[in-house]
Amino acid sequence: MASSNKDNSIEYDKQMYKKPERPKNHLAGRLNKFQETINQTQAPSAPAIQSIHDQHEIPTNVMSDIKHVFQLIKDNGLQGDYAVQIKFGEFIPIFGDSQVNKLVEILAVARQHGFINYSGNGPLQQDQDEEVYLKLIKTPY
């Protein structure tokens, strides 16, 4: 009988000191549902990365012209928003009035390779684009 009484006492103690039930955590269920939704949706494909090694090699004479123009802009331009800049109309006499066509070609190649930037899509024209700012982007050295 003592063992029976002891067993009842142990059961009573288990009931008496039972850990309180934790409230159900609905956050875990929501998180699992969210993760399932994410796994089912397709991630957009990554944009194609263009390597700088895919660009064509610039001939050395053109590169020396780009360096010359870059240095002239750096020496004569003003610090603007995030870059040294100069107006195209102000830069023509510095480079040489008789060499405007060569300057336009050099600027187009320099822009294509990311050394210089300016607004507009087409090539610069002396009569129309004198107010366009030429901005230095990266050093060609």
Q: Within a domain: residue 32?
A: no
Q: Within a domain: residue 127?
A: no
> Domain range for residue 87?
72-120
Q: Within a domain: residue 77?
A: yes
For residue 136, the surrounding DSSP H or E stretch is strand 133-136
Q: Within a domain: residue 58?
A: no
pLDDT tens per residue, range 97-138: 888 889 889 888 888 888 888 887 777 877 777 888 888 887
What are the backbone angles phi and psi of residue 79, rounded to the nearest 5°? -70, 120
132: helix, coil or strand?
coil
pLDDT tens per residue, range 42-98: 666 677 665 555 556 777 888 899 899 888 988 998 887 788 888 888 888 888 888
The number of folded domains in the chain is 1
Q: Within a domain: residue 82?
A: yes
Q: Within a domain: residue 93?
A: yes
Q: Within a domain: residue 78?
A: yes
> E-assigned strands of 7-96?
78-79, 84-87
pTM: 0.58
Q: Within a domain: residue 7?
A: no
- Cβ 124 vs Cβ 105: under 8 Å: no
